[in-house]
Structure 1
């Protein structure tokens, strides 16, 4: 039995758990340690592990590079859009009280949306940097 078969099988088992843990860190970041940056790095590590184990050709077919290039500005737009939504409602930039009728709900909505923006940007950045290293000799 070859070692790469063991790596492929074990990574197929572990990658879904890595992704689930990333979402746990993302949505638990409101109440404890964690948040968008940490969750984004964990999620990106699952994609990087997939690329290392199954090869860049298969990974680029399954997860095209343009998706991650698109995720970087999308996360920034989510982040900035949250702030501008506050301005549109007559409050200061990133004043989360403007996002709901009750300030506590607005704080929760604001923090979650900011963390989602960071999450998306970090995934796009980390995987794009990794793909840049993977593809450096191919272009």
Structure 2
């Protein structure tokens, strides 16, 4: 792989900002444009950019395959857990108002929607990163 100082330097500088913007999109997705899926893809694009600039071997040192597997599972558990918690308290799946929290209805819905968006964002980020790593590893072998 050809070394390019400019690409690697710019990548090092821009990756934290991409990740910060991805978190912003995830956290504000319940109340404005964006959400877990969009934010997860943006967050994963930081790892993908790093993999393109530094190579897949160096990128795998930053985020291991086990981490992406655990993160994908964790995001699904967060999403499903909040939905099932609402069912346990007599509501519908993801019916946040059934949860017995000491907050008024709109605040409960907003808080639980944020947790659901975080779960979706974690899952999408992990799956997109894993897909890129798998595809890039196959090309590197060939």
TM-score, with length taken from structure 2:
0.90
- Per-residue deviation, residues 107-137 of structure 1 (Å, max 9, x unmatched): 0122111101110110111011101101125
Secondary structure at 1:30 match in 2: coil
Partner of residue 114, structure 1: 116
Secondary structure at 1:90 match in 2: coil
Kept after mapping to 2: 8 A contact 1:65/1:128:
yes
Deviation at 1:3? 7.0
Partner of residue 27, structure 1: 27
Aligned-CA RMSD value: 1.7
Farther-moved stretch of structure 1 (67-76 vs 112-121) = 67-76
- Over 3 Å off, 4+ runs: none
Deviation at 1:105? 1.4
Once residues 30 and 107 of structure 1 are traced to their aligned partners in structure 2, the CA distance between those partners, rounded to angstroms, is 10
TM-score, with length taken from structure 1:
0.92
Partner of residue 127, structure 1: 129
Q: List gaps (5 residues or longer) in structure 2.
A: none
Number of residue pairs aligned between Structure 1 and Structure 2: 138
Partner of residue 98, structure 2: 98
Farther-moved stretch of structure 1 (38-47 vs 10-19) = 10-19
Equivalent residues in 2 for 1:1-139 (5 A)?
Answer: 4-99=4-99, 100-101=101-102, 102-136=104-138, 138=141
